[in-house]
Structure 1
Amino acid sequence: MAENMILVEEARDIVLDHVGQMPRVRVPVWKAAGLPLAEDVVTDIDLSPFANSAMDGYAVVAADLTGASEGAPVELDVVGHEAAGHVFSDRVEPGHAVRIMTGAPVPEGADAVVKYEVVQVLEGDGNEGSRIRFSAPAKVGENIRVAGLEAHAGEAVLRAGDVVTPAGCGLLASAGASEVTVHAAPRVGIIALGTELVSPDQVPARGQIRDANSAALMAATVTAGAEPEFFGIAPDDPVAIEQLVLKAAETCDFVVTSGGASAGDYDYVTALVEREGQVLFDHISMKPGKAITFGLLAGKPFLGLSGNPAAAVVGFEMLARPAIRKMRGFSAFDRPVQMARVDREIKKRQARRFYNRAHVERDAAGELVVTEAPSQNSALLGTLQRANCLLKVADGFEGIPAGGMAEVVRIDIPEGTVL
């Protein structure tokens, strides 16, 4: 396939067009936190199932307190006690009150709750058998949370596509859901390519380097919502590479390699995909990471990233992460983007779009100011570790003057966040 660079947006759309949502699975409700639901969840009861007190106080018949004031107080007898798990089964008759705790069901006959602090206890300890005084009227419904305030039986409390929060887990549980349906986590096969690579627990000899990409890409896979599986390091040998890559394609839902994607003598990835599957693109107008191959192997999406560590991570961020999110059922694929003022001139000598590692923060006046990392060497991971954004410099040869405005992609903030 001839070198033909496409825009980042085109590449992203191609990737998204060739992945679909994973099969549905049932998980315990607490494991759904942070995930979108695959099905609506309907409550089988009213939430709450009964009218309950919004505070500690006394359940009364509001009409009893009509005209109550400091000069003309109303006195009532306390005939019962209502607490969570302790139900007053009798009806509250005029002239009577029931001591009630927050969340307890409002007893039959009562239509208002007066908070404890404004009630004077005349006799007893305030509980059953006591005599109490009210110096103000009460409104019908005062301090009462009605039945079905959250939802009525048969209504959906959360819908398919809603991302569940910890509070949402509690809401689902109150609706009777001990398990919910989500889209399964895709398995992502990770392979490092290069004879020069050794595992992190080895001391590299001259000409060797430790495999940093696999750890970074597996971590990126986890944070995107997928399950990584490491298939190892393949030397610069077409047979060894083919064996590992095809094995991963057989057992995983998505395959990601790093290395072997550019135009060097020992770069075999594009040729392998072209021979065994279909290459959909192999160059992107992006720096870092121009040489990125995407295609299909055994019907599975395959992404061949650069061997340069920072380029591999940025390529994963821009292409694999949105794909994984789609596979898990998310509808938001893009990191938040902000406009920020650059603190120094951003020079550009290539036509590709730049995604420079940078850090953005607000200055004393509250304005967003972005500072690019001192080095944009694609072999360096430390600058990406310290970055909270990617400073976007548009396609073409024009840079950004000091004080100019630039888009920054907030890689530290989840997709769908409103800034």
Structure 2
Amino acid sequence: MSDCCSAPGLLPFEQAVANMLSQVSPITETLTLPIEQALHYVLAQDIASPLNVPPHDNSAMDGYAFALESFNESKTLVLIGRSMAGAPFQGTCQPGECIRIMTGAKMPDCCDSVEMQENVKADGENITFLQEKTFGSHVRNAGEDIKIDQQVLYSGHKLAAVDIGVLASLGVAEVVVYRKLKVALIATGDELKLPGQALRVGDIYESNSFVLAAMLKTLHVDIIDFGIISDDFEAIKAAFVSADEQADAVISSGGVSVGDADYTKTVLDELGEIGFWKIAMKPGKPFAFGKLANSVFFGLPGNPVSALVTFHQLALVALTKMQNAKPLTRTHLTVKCSSDLRKSPGRLDFQRGVLSINEAGENVVTSTGAQGSGILSSLARANCFIVLPSEQGGVKAGEMVNVQLFDHYL
């Protein structure tokens, strides 16, 4: 059977990604933020540790600190002081002596080991150790977590919650980050209505911008929502001109298929250099990409599943580069398919599936059912894409397939 990916005008998925990435540039503007405001921003600097973490040897247990050589003479040591977190022992511990110590407290310079309090017998100041000990037991060494001058975080890293804690543990109060991207969302169509509005015959609820806005919030960008624009040339043109003036990227859904009877393509042809592509992928063959005067444009298909998949697999990759963040990584697994899958060779197919573990302990994936580009519930029920290569035909139950796990954007 011939591979229709070789047909003129049908762009391979990988080439579409490469074309986009070659035409977008990372932002360079930075700002300095206190770490409590820096969550999800992209670092614009490498972070090296100014100190050891922990900064000194400390106890991992509530118990008694001592020098191991003290046991050469006796298993009973004399208690001479305390070391508390924030109030370390200041004296000198001689052989045959020990220090009461709490978890996290600095180890006295004269001690090298700790025994937990449950393994001793205390008789006044006489502490008898009931078990054999080894050198350095229950001691956290200075720099055990992070050493001074060690590179901890790198430019391009998107700061997560745990990173904020790490920065605080290093005493870093501020970081240099890249500013947020500004992304404009535009929906066009007289048939579109917002949730809560009454539907007339022929109307549908507009859902794409809500899905896209939710995913863009996860991406951590500033969203400029233009709402629904009526099918009027001047209104659509005014919206795109305003969006281009305000945003780094403009995203619209619908109006990018060949034969679409609306003004979107006419406006875009007038305002910029936009390519209306037919990509060898399913769902989502129609896709528009290019540049307006000041921004990058992504034109998604109007069908809900197609819009979401093209945004996730294409636009999101380019927006991540524009953020100056590290490239997206997706988790793929090869697993057994437990259901038949329909497919014709010719396009890379992102079918929706549910990955689970069967009674034999094997990873298996099953289809969510009907795979139409308008069936958004097929994505809501899924936890992965079943990624079928362009040259592949149908799949029989029991065959191995490649799945791409849903990430936090979905």
SS at match of 2:314: helix
Of 244, 259, 264, the match for 1:264: 259
Give the aligned partner of residue 375 of structure 2.
Answer: 380
AA partner of residue 227 (structure 1): D
Instruction: Please provide the CA RMSD for this pair.
Output: 2.6
Of 287, 292, 301, the match for 2:296: 301
What are the Cα deviations for residues 340-361 of structure 1, in whole angstroms up to 9, with x where unaligned? 3333332335733322222232
Q: How does 1:235-314 map to 2 (within 5 A)?
A: 235-314=230-309
Q: Decide whether aligned partners of structure 1 residues 164 and 217 sit closer, same or farther in structure 2, where only a CA change above 3 A counts.
A: closer
Give the aligned partner of residue 208 of structure 1.
Answer: 203
Shift of 1:118: 2.3
Give the aligned partner of residue 24 of structure 2.
Answer: 19
Give the aligned partner of residue 354 of structure 2.
Answer: 359
Q: Supply the distance in 2 between the matched residues of 1:14 and 1:228 (Cα, whole angstroms).
A: 25
Aligned: 1:57 with 2:63 = yes
- Structure 1: runs of 5+ lacking an equivalent: 124-129
AA partner of residue 110 (structure 1): C
Shift of 1:237: 2.3
Q: Supply the distance in 2 between the matched residues of 1:340 and 1:60 (Cα, whole angstroms).
A: 55
Q: Decide whether aligned partners of structure 1 residues 238 and 172 sit closer, same or farther in structure 2, where only a CA change above 3 A counts.
A: same
Of 123, 143, 156, the match for 2:138: 143
Give the aligned partner of residue 79 of structure 2.
Answer: 78
Q: Decide whether aligned partners of structure 1 residues 407 and 271 sit closer, same or farther in structure 2, where only a CA change above 3 A counts.
A: farther
Give the aligned partner of residue 103 of structure 1.
Answer: 104
SS at match of 2:146: coil
AA partner of residue 22 (structure 2): D
Shift of 1:250: 1.2
What are the Cα deviations for residues 196-229 of structure 1, in whole angstroms up to 9, with x where unaligned? 1122221111122121111111112122333322
Give the aligned partner of residue 342 of structure 1.
Answer: 337
Shift of 1:162: 4.4
Of 222, 225, 230, the match for 2:220: 225
Aligned: 1:66 with 2:72 = yes
Stretch deviating more after TM superposition (295-304 or 113-122): 113-122
Q: How does 1:94-133 map to 2 (within 5 A)?
A: 94-123=95-124, 130-133=125-128
Give the aligned partner of residue 46 of structure 1.
Answer: 52
AA partner of residue 387 (structure 2): K
Give the aligned partner of residue 310 of structure 2.
Answer: 315
Shift of 1:31: 4.9
Give the aligned partner of residue 127 of structure 1.
Answer: none
- Structure 2: runs of 5+ lacking an equivalent: 1-7
Contact residue 248 and residue 294 of structure 2 kept, 8 A: no
Q: Decide whether aligned partners of structure 1 residues 345 and 165 sit closer, same or farther in structure 2, where only a CA change above 3 A counts.
A: same
Stretch deviating more after TM superposition (43-52 or 156-165): 156-165
Of 316, 322, 325, the match for 2:320: 325
Given the two structures, how large is their TM-score scaled by the length of structure 1?
0.87
Q: How does 1:370-409 map to 2 (within 5 A)?
A: 370-396=365-391, 398-409=393-404
Contact residue 185 and residue 223 of structure 2 kept, 8 A: yes
Q: Decide whether aligned partners of structure 1 residues 196 and 19 sit closer, same or farther in structure 2, where only a CA change above 3 A counts.
A: same
Shift of 1:139: 4.4
What are the Cα deviations for residues 268-287 of structure 1, in whole angstroms up to 9, with x where unaligned? 33343333211245221122
AA partner of residue 47 (structure 1): V
Contact residue 245 and residue 294 of structure 2 kept, 8 A: no
Shift of 1:79: 1.7
Q: Supply the distance in 1 between the matched residues of 2:80 and 2:237 (Cα, whole angstroms).
A: 82
Q: Decide whether aligned partners of structure 1 residues 336 and 45 sit closer, same or farther in structure 2, where only a CA change above 3 A counts.
A: closer
SS at match of 1:260: coil
Q: Supply the distance in 2 between the matched residues of 1:328 and 1:172 (Cα, whole angstroms).
A: 21
Q: Supply the distance in 2 between the matched residues of 1:86 and 1:397 (Cα, whole angstroms).
A: 68
Shift of 1:191: 0.5
Give the aligned partner of residue 168 of structure 2.
Answer: 173
Stretch deviating more after TM superposition (295-304 or 403-412): 403-412
Give the aligned partner of residue 11 of structure 2.
Answer: 6
Give the aligned partner of residue 159 of structure 1.
Answer: 154
Q: Decide whether aligned partners of structure 1 residues 265 and 307 sit closer, same or farther in structure 2, where only a CA change above 3 A counts.
A: closer
Name the count of aligned residue pairs: 403
What are the Cα deviations for residues 44-100 of structure 1, in whole angstroms up to 9, with x where unaligned? 2222222211212222233221154xxxx4x33222111112222222233332211
SS at match of 1:295: strand
Q: Decide whether aligned partners of structure 1 residues 147 and 349 sit closer, same or farther in structure 2, where only a CA change above 3 A counts.
A: closer
AA partner of residue 132 (structure 1): I
Contact residue 41 and residue 179 of structure 2 kept, 8 A: no
Q: Supply the distance in 2 between the matched residues of 1:48 and 1:173 (Cα, whole angstroms).
A: 13
AA partner of residue 169 (structure 1): I
Q: Supply the distance in 2 between the matched residues of 1:263 and 1:362 (Cα, whole angstroms).
A: 43
SS at match of 2:115: strand
AA partner of residue 45 (structure 1): L
Given the two structures, how large is their TM-score scaled by the length of structure 2?
0.89
Stretch deviating more after TM superposition (205-214 or 319-328): 319-328
SS at match of 1:189: strand
SS at match of 1:292: strand
Give the aligned partner of residue 3 of structure 2.
Answer: none
Contact residue 157 and residue 175 of structure 1 kept, 8 A: no
AA partner of residue 155 (structure 2): A
SS at match of 1:351: coil
Q: Supply the distance in 1 between the matched residues of 2:190 and 2:248 (Cα, whole angstroms).
A: 26
AA partner of residue 341 (structure 1): K
